[in-house]
Structure 1
């Protein structure tokens, strides 16, 4: 900060004492810059790091509100993730918390051991996850509850401050608007209807569940695999291509090369003009992928050409 006469000038570093106050701005910028699910993952990681928590997560309700699933999760260091376990879970598990969520209240639990008897079921779950303190904020759109966003601490207890709660509320509102409304402002009604098990991608400490149908293709990249998604993004995953062949449903995924697998639902064109080099193009991707001779028969069978 500089003082000159009767006015002051500031830089962004002058306001770094309360990082939580920056969360809504960062959230809005991420939602404008990235596909919504990527933005949520980025935001969870940013908030988790700046608030000194061990997990940052988002849950999403099924339309009938009877079940929920963990869709995004960031973990610090060696903190154990639970995103894979919390899928299609009965809402009765979080009934005590859910009662406050539907009313639009944030719930700040400073010590999970001090919860009332009526919260016994969710208390057991918190303890199973190793939680010491938990902050939960509802995610609404057009007065309808769609999910919950929050933090866990596992290494030490935390007293949640008003700045953190308020900033998380604002981020939840931004996420609700971006994720659950179309461009015309109407509420989407087709979310969380697929019964296909989610596949989990790990991105710089953030675990995110995606529907298999959202994966365009997978390519080998040295010790990693490139996971290409229908929103145009690519995620590097540490699992080899061979492992991905066991994870992806054979009904829609097939191999086109020893280093590549594609989703038949996203194929838009097969270029066979060159006898020596066939190319396959997928929706939302700028570049075409080569098809090796040994997999041309499979391609013809799967695509009916």
Structure 2
């Protein structure tokens, strides 16, 4: 499989870059903005020429949720327009595209986990731009798989897990939102799943597999629950476990509103691909172990 990975700095992109070389059947080219700017058709053409991929994974995205509220043009240029250009280039070559999206396409008011057929209703610029990106990919390339995920964390870069571990070095208790729930998703677990899906799209007739899927860590918790689990795992190594105080969303205002319910039902992915991500606690354990080993 010749795989083009669009994106470089995000959690999922980094995990894909680290995982792909260990799989001997994959020749992968991961291209960040310097090598592949998905907003530039000429840059996309060069990348396709370099590897002649038979599958594309698009992780390139504007992911600064709060900053996007004041930077709408940039968010849509990358999340919608860039996704369309990449999908179009793939379609011209009859190449399938695996596009990573987000739970932010929903408003978070549903009490049950969201299924793929639920009507999107994004409440943020980020969510709106990602939804438009989904639609652009679907309209431009019939051979598409869109994967919505959420609450992605990993052992490197800036994300919830690394922020919590960094904050734990202080003596003050941590105040973490407890009235939002979701499925924490460990980036390397998601990357392994994406590579599996990509391999099937490249190797098998996939006429019944095209469409939109949810893929997130198994199980549900709050941000407070996630922080508590991270610190409990870290205390095995550091002998310290700071106090984590639950707070409400109104006590932690953000420029972009966060969905109260970000949980995703991932049953369709299991039904069609036989794939399910591990429990989110396993991701936390792996993340903390990797963090302290590095």
- Normalised to the residue count of structure 2, the TM-score between the two structures is 0.26
**Structure 1 length-normalised TM:** 0.25
Larger relative helix fraction: 2
Q: Whose Rg is larger?
A: 1
Instruction: Give the structure with the larger strand fraction.
Output: 1
